[in-house]
Structure 1
């Protein structure tokens, strides 16, 4: 099985750390649960919703760069799926250096044969160009993401999709916890 993974909220539980950063920049008057929910839609949605200025956005970016890898935790059970897959690739809007630092910290860099980041110049999701590139190169069987935005490019290309800890009408499979992966038909897909 060849799996394309989203990074934030799919491989790693980054949203709590990002919520704290936005809360710090916005001030304690904003509700952290609401910030979390806006970030889950998308980073750009949260920026727009809170009318974040260029200065504030620059501060957010600097704080994100300073996040130590140990504050970004992997989801329980995901490593077993990484080991199970024949190939794993990542498509993320994060910068490559941040992704690689986190993967290296957890010793997960050998699990991934390819990584496409915002630095590679592909349009942002839900545009399918990066997915098409990875699919042509690696023959992707399944895309796993935590937002519908992660799944739409795969659906456009006819690739099976799995939504993690969320709901989506376009998802072929749903997982609330990665321990469910081997008890579903997902692990049988090829």
Structure 2
């Protein structure tokens, strides 16, 4: 099985860190509201809360203080990575951010290719990066935590799975990676 992974909120539980950085700037906005907006997209949250350029810059500064030790992988996701024949990542993060975290956990060897914002592809849900990875690796499944992570896969007729998100549109849904192997009986 060849799997394309999203990074934030799919492989690693980064949303608590992003929520905290927004909370430090927004103050009295409940964390649940911030989290909900971030789960749509980072850009959506910036626009939703009408953040100024200065506020956005400060949020990035706060996030830059986070170390790889602060970012945890989801339980049992490594078992799925080990199971797959091939794993690739498509993320809007920078290559440096992704590689720092993967190096910390010694996970770099799990991924045949990592496509980041640095590669110059249009942002998700544009299908260009997915098409590139699919043509190169014949993907069987896309796993992401937001609708925008799976839309391109739907256009390319690749099976999709939403993680910790029950929004309509995915072929499969997972709340915990320990359930992945039960899901396998339905895939392909």
* TM category, shorter: over 0.9
Give ranges in structure 1 of 5+ residues lacking alignment.
none
TM-score by length of 2: 0.97
CA-to-aligned-CA distance 1:142-178 (integer Å, 9 cap, x gap) = 0000111101000000000001001132111110100
- The match for 2:40 is 41
TM-score by length of 1: 0.96
Note the C-alpha offset of 1:187.
5.7
Match of 1:59, SS state, is: helix
Partner of 2:114: 115
Cα 1:7–1:187 change in 2 (3 A) is farther
Residue 23 of structure 2 corresponds to residue 16 of structure 1? no
Q: Matched residue of 1:73: which SS? A: coil
Measure the CA separation in 1 of the matches of 2:38 and 2:152.
20
**Secondary structure, counterpart of 1:140 in structure 2:** coil
Kept after mapping to 2: 8 A contact 1:161/1:171: yes
Question: For 1:121-143, what per-residue CA distance to the aligned partner results, in whole angstroms no more than 9, with x for missing partners?
Answer: 11111100000011111111100
Where does the alignment leave 5 or more consecutive residues of structure 2 unmatched?
Answer: none
Aligned twin of 1:156: 155
Runs of 4+ more than 6 Å apart: none
- Determine the structure 2 residue equivalent to 1:84: 83
Alpha-carbon deviations, 1:16-53, whole Å to 9, x = none? 01100011122x21111110111011101100011011
CA contact (8 A) 1:181 1:187 kept: no
Shift of 1:56: 1.2
- Determine the C-alpha separation between the residues in 1 that align with 2:59 and 2:108: 26
